[in-house]
Amino acid sequence: MSFRNQFNKEFSVTSLKGKVHLVNFFFVSCTTICPIMAHNLKDVVLGNNNIDLLSFTIDPENDSISVLKKYHKNVAENVPNWTFLRGNKKDLRNIAKLYLSYITNNGSDDSYFYHSSSVVLLDKKMRIRGVYDSLDKEEIALLERDIKILSKK
């Protein structure tokens, strides 16, 4: 699987082994859940060096590197531990399966995806430790608690 970040640098998901991290899926032109998700997740990771956030676009055709870079500047400029990633649909499907992200493909090929407001928490051994609704303040509080617990281990 190959992904590039908002600065057009190749990014290996396995580089986060040994770090607690979060994964979510979004697309820049989303006007429904994505802005709320971004706001809530920014609050979780801002100033927290114990966690990294990976946000994979599900719309790589429209979310070019330059679009992701601009989005990063607008949404997460002061959050160095938040990485926006894009790849091809096949790699996206594989990473979604890896993270049990609740991305669903209703087509027979890789041409159609939709996503949920879920964010996946992984421990230092890259094991899934929880899935949280990033739109729900109570679940965000649980996520923050669980990050603290995992960061101590």
Which tens digit of pLDDT belongs to each residue from 96-142? 777 754 455 555 554 455 577 889 999 999 899 999 999 999 999 99
Q: Where are the domains of the chain?
A: 3-152
Level-2 CATH architecture, domain 3-152: 3-Layer(aba) Sandwich (3.40)
Residue 15 has a pLDDT of 87
In this structure, is the dihedral angle defined by the CA atoms of residues 85, 86, 87 and 90, taken in order, positive or negative?
positive
| CA–CA distance, 132 with 32 (Å, rounded to integer) | 18
Residue 121 class from Cβ within 10 Å (0-12 exposed, 13-18 middle, 19+ buried)? buried
CA distances in angstroms from 49 to 7, 82, 90, listed in the order given: 20, 11, 31
